[in-house]
Amino acid sequence: MNRQTKQFCETGTEFRGDGAAEINSTRTCLRFPSPYCGHPFFLRLSVGADDAGGDSRGLPSPSAAHCTTRAVIVQPKHFGTDNRCTLDAVMKLGMANARGIAVVHPEASYEELRRLDTGGIRGLRFSVWNPVDTVTTIDMIEPLSKRVNDLGWHVQLHMSGDQIVENAALLERLVCPIVIDHMGRMSPQIGLRHPAFKVICRLMDTGRTWVKLAGAYLNTVSGPPAYADATAIARAFAEAAPERMIWGSDWPHVTEEHKPDDALLFDLLTAWFPDEQARKRVLVDNPAKLYGFV
């Protein structure tokens, strides 16, 4: 057991293995202010376990950690295609409260996909923006999208803006729903002038593509507290298709040596969605539909 895993197991520190970043859940407690506290908010949690990846030890409940009632667990790169820890986390939180996003390769059997579905998995993650540490590849997306479509799953794509443009024809061919992660990772120096913005808007127009508004700190050069460049992108997406937006906390921010302020990131929603009903839509209604809580 490595040092970070040992700390997780002993103190409840939550970390994601693909960078082994860590955060103490007793110190970082994102509180959703009234009137949202108690609504079925969704966030992107990651899970930690022993080196075998078998179970999620010390996993806090969504309500205890973030004042939420529901959560979506995303498979970390550290565990590759071994989804046992993610499944264990969903099981411990309960199917009424949690769903999972898994990682598999095209050779996964139909029986394995059905087993994942029974365990609460509702999508496949493809984090391909960094070729150095990717578990999956772009050429795996289409064959797997065809296989999971019958299960009602989606594919969650963490691609750079340049990759989105280069693979626009592929994305338009996909038969299952799509989630564009991290606002499309368009270069903040280019912002809305990046051609990926128009590609994503075309995909949203089909009615089967969602954009996850998450990771403002990954889409900025201006930085906190306003994240003005990331905010401009988020607002443009929100105005283009509010019914296709979901939000993610991206907690525990495994790529960041200096962790962003979770409360500050949450407060950005007031700039992205000034209207209270619009915030309810992105935080409650849209994800409830996407992840199958309704």
pLDDT along the chain (294 residues), means of 10: 31 29 30 42 48 51 57 89 94 92 97 98 96 93 97 97 98 97 96 98 97 95 96 97 94 86 91 93 93 88
Predicted pLDDT at 70? 86
Evaluate if pTM is beyond 0.85. no
β-strand partners of 179: 156, 210
- Do 142 and 175 meet the contact criterion of CB atoms below 8 Å apart? no
Predicted pLDDT at 269? 93
Predicted pLDDT at 208? 95
Checking phi first, is residue 182 left (phi over 0); if not, alpha (psi -120 to 50) or beta? Answer: left
Structure tokens at 92: 């411990």
Predicted pLDDT at 190? 96
- Do 50 and 81 meet the contact criterion of CB atoms below 8 Å apart? no
Checking phi first, is residue 20 left (phi over 0); if not, alpha (psi -120 to 50) or beta? Answer: left
Q: Which of 55, 88, 250, 262 is catalytic?
A: 250
Q: For this structure, is 250 an active site residue?
A: yes
User: Is the CATH number of domain 3-291 2.40.50.110?
Assistant: no
Predicted pLDDT at 188? 94
